[in-house]
Amino acid sequence: MAEGSMLTPEHVYVHADALKSRRCTLAENVIITHVEGLVRLRGYPHVLTDFVGTPLAGQVDKVVTEYDEDKVEKLADATLVVHVYDVSYDDSGLEELEDGMTAANHWVLPSMHLEGLWETLIYDRPIKNELLSYSSTALLFADKKVDPNIISWNKVVLLHGPPGTGKTSLCKALAQKLTIRLRSRFAQGQLLEINSHSLFSKWFSESGKLVMKMFQKIQTLIDDGTTLVFVLIDEVESLAHCRSAAIGGNEPSDAIRVVNALLTQIDIMKRYPNVFILTTSNISGVIDLAFVDRADFKYHLDYPSQTCISKIFMSCMEELRRVSIINDTSSF
């Protein structure tokens, strides 16, 4: 089966993401047919890289399958959805505003630099599936033209929690994964990682205007309906600091203008079906409540449990075995 809908609760889906090699000559429908057969033949392995003796040899670099582990007993009746894609090998570009100030890093998706990131992220709760389901619902609402005056839907994600818990990596991985899964709908993805500290602190007196200029650049990408755009604002509290502190005289009035500018742009962008705003925060308690209210998906990422740490450690060991740095008889 070619690309279709993402995760839905009433049926079990197995998604197989097939990365084409740089010298691939096979037509996409041919790749899909062979991937379907091979994945079923080999029992739905999570990663396939050995294609020797098959028509996919030299044509596909790897196939990654993903499904709900709680429904593994239903795989025989599952619908297999194959997503064939290639990646950009370019490094991230820089988006500059006035005086050469770097305001954002710009990635063309899918990117080789983000390849495999989604699979390496391990959490105690199924946040990755929840994010995919949320994204699928957001696009469904847009397709069905759900009245935003009745059901407000901003396509804003807020991941918050202590440093080092994988918030930024998860945002980047989600952008990559959605671009792959939605190739039948969007020709490519664009990820802009906004440098909020540079916008706010280096040009403090003009930061409100700079926020507006940055989003004007983003608007040019959104206007291309064939492009799926992701705006990543890391440490969003730098731009969306609580305005009550400024009103109380503890913060300069420019802080209010920055928050107002950010909220205005979010309200503008929610009208477009091809944009998601992904944000992270280490100290969510200082974020302006109006911004928090606009986040449809809010999730607290804490430090991993002992069980999760063990899984992460085992994945590291498997990688060292893969590259023959260690073997099963190695000792430390």
Segment 239-252, tens digit of pLDDT: 888 676 655 555 55
93-150 pLDDT, tens digit per residue, is: 887 776 667 788 999 999 999 999 999 999 999 999 999 999 999 999 988 999 988 9
Looking at the fold, whether 116 and 148 belong to one and the same domain comes out as: yes
Structure tokens at 186: 């969007």
Q: Do 216 and 279 sit in the same domain of this protein?
A: yes
Residues 100 and 214 placed together within one structural domain of the fold: yes
CA dist list (Å): 160 to 2, 125, 231, 262, 283: 35, 15, 16, 18, 7
Q: Is 143 exposed, middle or buried (0-12, 13-18, 19+ CB in 10 A)?
A: exposed
| Tens digit of each residue's pLDDT (9 = 90 or more) over 248-269 | 555 557 778 888 999 999 999 9
Same domain, 74 and 199: no
For residues 14 and 66, what is the distance between their CA atoms, to the nearest angstrom? 6
25 and 124 part of one domain: no
Write out the residue range of the structural domain in which residue 23 sits: 13-85
Q: How confident is the model at residue 37 (pLDDT cuts 50, 70, 90)?
A: very high
Question: How many domains does one find in the chain?
Answer: 2
pLDDT at 207: 74
Is 78 inside any structural domain? yes
> Does 68 lie in the same domain as 105?
no
Tell me: do 267 and 296 sit in the same domain: yes
Considering the domain architecture, whether residues 159 and 293 belong to the same structural domain is answered as yes
Least confident stretch, 84-93, 158-167, 201-210? 201-210
User: Which of the residue ranges 156-160, 163-167, 231-235, 236-240 would you say has the lowest mean pLDDT?
Assistant: 236-240
Range with the poorest average pLDDT among 101-110, 126-135, 180-189, 205-214 = 205-214
Task: Name residue 16's beta-bridge partners.
Answer: 65, 82
If asked whether residues 143 and 48 sit together in one domain, one would say no
Does 195 lie in the same domain as 291? yes
Which residue do the tokens 């740089």 mark?
A: 22
Does some domain include residue 258?
Answer: yes
Residue 31 pLDDT > 80, yes or no?
yes
Residue 308: partners with Cβ closer than 8 Å, 6 or more residues away: 122, 123, 124
Whether 72 and 146 map to the same domain: the answer is no
As a whole number of angstroms, the distance between CA 150 and CA 316 comes to 47
Q: Are residues 110 and 51 located together in one domain of the fold?
A: no
